[in-house]
Chains A and B, each alone.
Chain A
Amino acid sequence: MKRILEILQDSSQTTPEQISVMLGIPVNEVTRAIKQAEQEKIILKYKTIINWAKAGRKEVLALIEVKVTPQRNVGFDSIADRIYQFPQVYSAYLVSGTYDLALLVKGENMQEIASFVSEKLAPMEQVQSTVTHFLLKQYKEDGEILRPTKNISRLPITP
C-alpha cells in the first residue's frame, strides 16, 4: 500500500496498470488498494501542482501568525476550526513557539488579505494578535522546485 501511495503522490496520473508493472503485483490488487485508500480517506484528493505565476494568474499569499486564547476542554481546536473554515485559508497549522496558529492565506491582492485579517480574523474574541507576512517569491511548492533549473545532461553513451 505504502509504495502505491508513494507512486501516486509523485504522479497521480499513473494508472493501476502501470503501477502493477512497476511493483510487480496484479492490477486488481492495485485497484483494490487504491479504492480502499480513497474510502478510508488516506487519499484525500488528486491534485495538480501548478506554477500559477507562470500561468499568468496574479495571486498573493501571506503567512499569518496568530496568537489565540485556548478554551477549556477543546484547547485550540475550536478556534482553529472557526478560522480554517474560511476559504481564504489555504493551510492551517498549530505550532509551538511564540504564537499558536500558522495560516497560509491566499487572495487576489494584498488588499483582499488585509481585509480578511482586519475584518474576519483579528476581531475574533479568542484571537489576541496577528502578524501578517506577505510572501514575496515562491521557490518550492510541495517538494517541487519552481525556479527554472538548467538541465544538466549526462553524456548519452557511457561505459
Chain B
Amino acid sequence: MESVTARTHNNFISQKVNAISPSGIRRFFDLLSSIEGVISLGVGEPDFVTPWHIREAAIHSLEKGYTMYTSNYGLLELRQELALYLERQYGVSYHPEQELIITTGVSEGLDIALRAIIDPGDEVIVPDPCYVAYIPDIVMAGGIPIEIPTYQKSNFAISAHDIESKINERTKAILIGYPSNPTGTTLSREELSAIAELARKYNLLVISDEIYSRLTYGSNHTYFASLPGVKDQTISLNGFSKSYAMTGWRIGYVAANRDIIEAMLKVHQYTMLCAPIMAQLAAIEALKSGEGEIEHMRQEYDKRRRVITKGLNNIGLTCPTPQGAFYAFPGIEITGMSSEEFAEKLLIEEKVAVIPGSVFGKHGEGFLRCCYATSLSNIEEAITRMDKFVRRYRKS
C-alpha cells in the first residue's frame, strides 16, 4: 500500500483532456462580463429570435404532451422532410431510414463522426484557421489534426495542392467547413471538386460541415456530397442553428452512407440517445415552412456584411468581402499588435468585443473575427469606436 502515492487533484484528469488548451473564447468571456456598455461583435449566432411559427409548433408539441424519447435516428417524419429538403435544395439524395441521424447540433454530429471513424494515430486534415472545436474534437477522438495553413491573399481558401502534400498512409479524413467560421470564406464548386478528386484518388473520407450552407451571398452553395462520386465518402454535418436562428434548440443532423451511419449511431445511442423531441418537432415545422424567413435573414445579413466590410477597410483593417456565414475577418497588421492584445485592449479601451484570430489557429494570428449578426446601428457604432482605437495605435 505504501507504493500508492497520493493523487493530486489534477491527476484525475486524463492526459488527453489535459493536453487540450481551454478555448481562448472563454477567457474573453470572463473579462467581458466585468465591463458595461460593450458592443459585441464576438457572438457566433444570429441576432434573430427563432421565427414565431417554429416556436409556436414547439409550444403546441409540449401542450400535446410530446415529451418522450424518439428513435435513436430521430423522428422519421423529420428525416423524411430532411431527405426531401436536401434533394430539393442541393440535389443530393439520402435514404431517410438509413442515411440520416438527427443530432443535438453539428457539435454532436462532428463528435460522433470523428469517434466513429478514427483509430488512434489516424490523421485528419483541417484548414488553419478553422472553427474552434475541430482540433479538440479530433484530439479527443484519438486522432491527430494536420493543419493546412490558409492565407488572406488566397481568401483563406484551403488548396487541394496543399492538402495533397500532407496526405500519407495515416490520413483518414479531410474536415472542412465552408462557408467558414471564422473567415467567412466560401469555396467554389471547382475548388470543392479538386478536394473531391483527392478524396477519390486516395480513398479518404471528407467530413463537410455545412452549417452555414444557407448563408452565402452572391453564389449558390455546393453541397460537398453532391459532387460526382463522393457521396459515399462524405459525412455531411448540418443543422438548424444558423439558417433558422435556432442555436439554443441544439438540433442538427448528419448524413452519410449506411455503414458510416450505423457506426455513428452506436456512438450516438450510447451517449446522446436522441435529440430533444420538441426541438425535432420544431425542426419539422422549420423545414415545412421556414424558407421565407431564411431568405429574409440572409438579406439582412447581406446588408450588414457590406456595411461592416466597407467600415473595416475604411479604418485600415483590411478584409476582402466575406462571401458566406456572418463573419468578417480583417487583418490588423497596421497596428503591429497581436490579435489577442488588440482584442483585449479594444475591449477595455473602446468597449468593443471581437474575437482574436489566434483562437482559431496559428494562421488566424494577425486577424480578428468580427460577427455582423447584430444591428446596423451596433455595427456602425463599433466601427466608430474601432476607428478611434486604430488611429491611436496605428504604426505611422
Contact = CB atoms under 8 A, between A and B. Distances in A.
Interface of A: 3, 7, 18, 21-24, 152, 154-159
- Interface core residue of B28, B38, B303, B310 (most chain A CB under 10 Å): B303
Nearest to A6: B299
Contact of A157 (B42, B181, B299, B376): B42
B362 to A, nearest CB: 18
Contacts of B310: 21
B290 interface: no
Given A7-B303, A23-B306, A156 B32 contact: yes
B306 A24 contact: yes
Give chain A's interface secondary structure class.
loop
B47 interface: yes
Contacts of B353: 156-157
24 contacts: A3-B299, A7-B303, A18-B376, A21-B306, A21-B310, A22-B306, A22-B307, A22-B376, A155-B29, A155-B43, A156-B29, A156-B32, A156-B33, A156-B38, A156-B353, A157-B25, A157-B28, A157-B42, A157-B355, A158-B25, A158-B44, A159-B44, A159-B131, A159-B133
B40 interface: yes
B23 A159 contact: yes
B132 interface: yes
Nearest to B374: A154
Interface residues of B, number: 28
Contacts of B23: 159
B311 to A, nearest CB: 8
Interface of B: 23, 25, 28-29, 32-33, 38, 40, 42-45, 47, 49, 131-133, 181, 247, 299, 303-304, 306-307, 310, 353, 355, 376
Contacts of A23: 303, 306
B43 A157 contact: yes
B306 A158 contact: no
Nearest to A19: B303
Nearest to A20: B306
